[in-house]
Structure 1
Amino acid sequence: MVMTPADCPFCEIVQREDPDAREVYRDEHVVAFFPTDPAVLGHTMVVPRKHVADIWELDEMTAERLARATVRLARAIREAVHPEGLNVIQSNGEAATQTVFHLHVHLVPRWDGDGMGPIWPEETNYSEGQKDHALRAVREACRSLSSDV
């Protein structure tokens, strides 16, 4: 799905045009805020101020700035709400449950018995041949990538 800054709800937050946004952090490169319907209390989303649809459109400089802010905010969440754990979730594409096509990172504090539940399947049934095929394909793709992502 194509989303432009004009119709992007996260760009609206970045531009301070959403009066209901619960912003927790802002600098010249990123904005962090609570989602409207948090998974748990303290759930925070970190977005680049620049409109980037997904990880495949992300340049290295924006990635670096987003990563630094994500670590900083993870520490703030740990200090503020004292979770037992933390999920860092970043989804790309509808198949991966991305619903707003402005790259974002979810920081989800976790406690034993919280409402989130597990995020991984209990088991998978891939054959060794399937795993080896995927390994070879990804290794080959890595070799062909240029260093300037």
Structure 2
Amino acid sequence: MQECDFCAIGAGEAPAIVVWEDEENLAFFPRRPAVVGHTLIIPKQHYDDLFELPDPAVASLTQAVARVGRGLRRALSPDGMNLINSTGKAATQSVFHVHMHLVPRWTGDRFGDIWPPSEPWAGEVKAEVADMVRQELNPSRP
């Protein structure tokens, strides 16, 4: 594995403003936050992306995200909050160590909309894609 900045932060070998940690996960402010309170939550063990995480690590990371999110909500009283994960270059993942962004939001903040306007899918396309996904989620598959 190449050198990973987030692994170094998780190991305490690189500087970061840490707001919370436990044995498995760490929450810290990114170098260039989108808004006040923008926080990253990472597993301390390296996984490139969300789909590499084994189920126990998914559960642990999700619990960490919920805990940190509740703390951000109590501390900052935002109007809302985005939970964002980018997996893969096409989804704008820039650090290939799985991480979740908690982004406190206020009405009219500079962050703006996260969803572009979309066109509705044709009914037959929806049905075909739904069938493909259902096949992959069949209980007989891992």
The TM-score bracket by the shorter chain reads over 0.9
Q: Distance in 1 between matches of 2:9 and 2:39?
A: 14
Q: Which residue of 1 aligns with 2:114?
A: 119
Q: TM-score, normalised by structure 2?
A: 0.95
Matches within 5 A, 1:5-44: 6-19=2-15, 21-44=16-39
- Give the TM-score normalised by structure 1: 0.90
> Following superposition, which runs of at least 4 residues in structure 1 exceed 4 angstroms of deviation?
none
CA distance in 2, matches of 1:18, 1:47: 14
CA distance in 2, matches of 1:127, 1:116: 31
Provide, for residues 101-135 of structure 1, a one-character-per-residue CA deviation record: whole Å limited to 9, x for no partner: 10000000000111111111222242222111111
Query: How far apart are the structure 1 equivalents of 2:93 and 2:141?
Result: 25
Correspondence list, 1:89-128, <5 A: 89-128=84-123
- The separation in 2 between residues aligned to 1:36 and 1:47, in whole angstroms, is 15
Secondary structure of the corresponding residue to residue 114 of structure 2: coil
Separation in 2, partners of 1:113, 1:48: 32
What CA RMSD, in Å, does the superposition of the two structures yield over aligned residues?
1.1
Kindly provide the amino acid, as one letter, of the partner of residue 13 in structure 1.
I
Number of equivalences: 141
The gaps in structure 2 that reach 5 residues or longer are none
SS at match of 1:106: strand
Q: Please list every run of 5 or more consecutive structure 1 residues that lacks an aligned counterpart in the other structure.
A: none
In structure 2, the partner of 1:140 is: 135
Q: Which letter does structure 1 place at the counterpart of 2:117?
A: E
